[in-house]
């Protein structure tokens, strides 16, 4: 398999777990501003999943069979964080997103992407940076309420 497809498949798996993590976390927040941010991030992660899947299809690849595993892992991780306190949950999300930014950045350096795949990876990377900002804001919102 070529390196572009391999990279896109890997990110497709991670994005699938991101959707499940946020989906499981929404119910932990009666604070509407934060729940809304989580819903928006979940929808955005779903876009990442769909865009990656579409690009993999255009390159005539198929998605990894491990996808279901990543989905379940995301569910478990998301649920577990809801037991550990809201600030802890948000800090975990920040570290997950930082890893995503780093992972996308490394791929951009290493992999010889075609233009369309490269701009998809770049767009996702920028979105993950926005998620980091959202969780930092959310921690401030929670602190303001104590």
Distances (CA, A) of 16 to 48, 84, 144: 9, 23, 32
Query: Of 32-40, 50-58, 87-95, 97-105, which segment contacts Fe ion by CB under 5 A?
Result: 97-105
Q: Quick one: which of 19, 25, 34, 45 contacts Fe ion (CB under 5 A)?
A: 45
User: How many residues of this chain bind Fe ion (CB under 5 A)?
Assistant: 7
Q: Work out whether 11 is an interface residue with Fe ion (CB under 5 A).
A: no
Distance CA 33, CA 30 (A): 9
Q: Quick one: which of 16, 37, 48, 86 contacts Fe ion (CB under 5 A)?
A: 48
Residues 6 or more apart from 99 whose CB is under 8 A from it?
A: none
Closer residue to Fe ion, CB minimum distance, 18 or 34:
18
In the chain, which ranges are E strands? none
Joined together, the tokens standing for residue 19 give 């959707």
Contact by Cβ (8 Å): 81, 89: yes
Query: Of 7-15, 24-32, 80-88, 114-122, which segment contacts Fe ion by CB under 5 A?
Result: 7-15
Residues 6 or more apart from 46 whose CB is under 8 A from it?
A: 19
Q: Work out whether 12 is an interface residue with Fe ion (CB under 5 A).
A: no
Query: Of 22-30, 71-79, 101-109, 126-134, which segment contacts Fe ion by CB under 5 A?
Result: 126-134
Q: Which residues are near Fe ion by CB under 5 A?
A: 15, 18, 45, 48, 97, 128, 131
């Amino acid at each position: 398999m070529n390196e572009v497809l391999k990279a896109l498949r890997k990110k497709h798996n991670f994005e699938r777990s991101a959707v499940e993590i946020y989906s499981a976390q929404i119910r932990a927040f009666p604070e509407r501003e934060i729940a809304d941010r989580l819903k928006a991030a979940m929808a955005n992660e779903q876009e990442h999943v769909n865009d990656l899947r579409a690009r993999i299809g255009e390159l005539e690849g198929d998605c990894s069979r491990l996808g279901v595993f990543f989905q379940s892992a995301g569910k478990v991780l998301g649920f577990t964080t809801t037991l550990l306190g809201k600030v802890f949950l948000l800090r975990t999300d920040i570290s997950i997103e930082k890893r995503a930014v780093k992972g996308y950045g490394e791929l951009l350096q290493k992999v010889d992407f075609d233009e369309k795949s490269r701009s998809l990876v770049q767009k996702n990377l920028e979105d993950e940076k926005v998620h980091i900002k959202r969780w930092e804001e959310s921690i401030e919102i929670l602190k303001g309420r104590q």
